Structure formats: structure tokens, C-alpha cells
Amino acid sequence: MTWQDLWKVLLDLVYGHDGYCTLCGRKIREKEPVCSICRRNLAYLRAGYEKCTLCGRFILHGKLCVDCGEAAPVFLAVRTLGPYRGELKETLQRFKYRGQRSIAAGFAYLMAETLQSYLTQHRVDLIIPVPMYWRKQQSRNYNQANLLARELAHYLKVPLADSILLKVKDNPSQTKLAKEQRMANVSGVFRVASSGAVKDKNILLVDDIITTGSTISECAKMLTFAGAKEINVVSVAAGITASKEESDFDIGPA
């Protein structure tokens, strides 16, 4: 046994499962679920991008993305860990499609961190995950947004409400649809099971990725109709899109 092996065994004894980074699996000495290399990777992925101030998606310059330049969404603010590319994309895919559920702890830990300064000035009463259609959840065995919301509720010490917002219809993926089609595609898909539970509440809506913003917009709309006061959104990743300025000058992607 080399001294490195011995060190690993000792770490295992001291920390147990906590001795691993939940995102990349590296051994770590910190008593938190994310390693410094994963943190550095995230900072690198975010560098050089601006964020749309309304939907949180990443743009190259300016303040608004092309969609929010046309119509503002109904939620207040969006926090994400980074753009959907590189290591973040790869880790998110392992989390969603390859059953690596423990990744939820690391992502939620970082999400709680990004929300910290915001939460000193805003109250959040309930954490609600973007729901999945029951049949889809049955075949995947879990809803990744639900796992994130559960961990986040634990870190932020805010109640989780995972059976208030329901997905009552299955709909095709949003990614390949144009804006009008995306809005039609999510219309009538979500339902609030109990308006009393959200009335006058400040809600933190949790999703794994904001691809187009239509899904969270529709969820926020339904919660607002049901009487919720404020909707904030947090997600692991957000898509990269054209900015309003780019489309104004017609130099953005078609």
C-alpha cells in the first residue's frame, strides 16, 4: 500500500461518502459536496458571458436576450450556475440520464450559495420543483428537479412543496420549436393542485435547465394565477442565446 492509498483509506474513515466531490467523483478533503476543480471549471464556463437580466439565459453582450426583448416573463429573478456547455452539460447529463442522483447534493449546494446574497433581502416561503409528467417520471424513476429542490430545501431550511404544481399533460421537447410554438406547447400543461397553499407566498421555482424559458414562464404564470406573490427561479444551467442587440442589428444567429 502506497502512502496515497493509505491517505485515501484514512479519508474514507474520516469523511465516508462526504470525502468525494458529488459532481466529478474526485476525493476531497473539504467537508462540502463540491471540489475546488469543479468550482474553477464553473467559473471558467461563465467567463465571457453576460446574462439576460430577465430570463437568466446567457448572451454574449447586452442586457436582454432576443425573447425577453419582445415580452418580459412573469418571474422576478433567475439564478443559475452557468451556461449549458462543457463540464456543466456533461455533469447535468449524468445526473438526468444516467441515474447519478447524488449529484443533486453538489448542484443544490452551489445553488444555495448563489442565492445567499439575494435571500438576505428577499423572503422565500416555499420551494417548488418544475414537475414532470407522471408517466415520464415512472420510466425514469425520479424527477431531477425534485431531487434538486429537496436538497435545496435542506440547505436553505425552507419548506419543500412538491405536490402543489402538477404536470397534467405530456408535451414534446421545447428545444426544436419556434417561440410561438413553444408557448402553445406548454399552455395548459401545468396545474396548481391547491391555490390555498401558494396564496400570498414567495416561491422559489427549481429546474435543472432553462432552455428557452417557456416552461418556467408557464409555471410562474400558473402560480401567479393561483395567488402566489413573488416567483423566483433557480436552475443548474441555462441555455446560450442571441441578445436583443444582436437581433436588432441582425447579426445574431437566425
Residues that bind Zn ion (CB under 5 A): 21, 23-24, 26, 35, 38, 52, 54-55, 65, 68
CB of 87 to Zn ion, least distance (A): 9
Q: Are 196 and 226 spatial neighbours (Cβ–Cβ below 8 Å)? A: no
CB of 56 to Zn ion, least distance (A): 7
CB of 71 to Zn ion, least distance (A): 10
Residue 65 or residue 222: which is nearer to Zn ion going by CB? Answer: 65
CB of 132 to Zn ion, least distance (A): 24
Residue 21 or residue 234: which is nearer to Zn ion going by CB? Answer: 21
Residue 24 or residue 103: which is nearer to Zn ion going by CB? Answer: 24
Residue 143 or residue 247: which is nearer to Zn ion going by CB? Answer: 247
CA distances from 15 to 20, 30, 31, 229 (A): 9, 9, 8, 42
CB of 163 to Zn ion, least distance (A): 30
Residue 36 or residue 116: which is nearer to Zn ion going by CB? Answer: 36
- Label residues 14-26 b or e (16+ Cβ within 10 Å = b): eeeeebbbbbbee
User: What does 140-206 look like in DSSP terms, one character per residue?
Assistant: HSS-HHHHHHHHHHHHHT--B--SSEEE-S----STTS-HHHHHHHHTT-EEES-HHHHTT-EEEEE
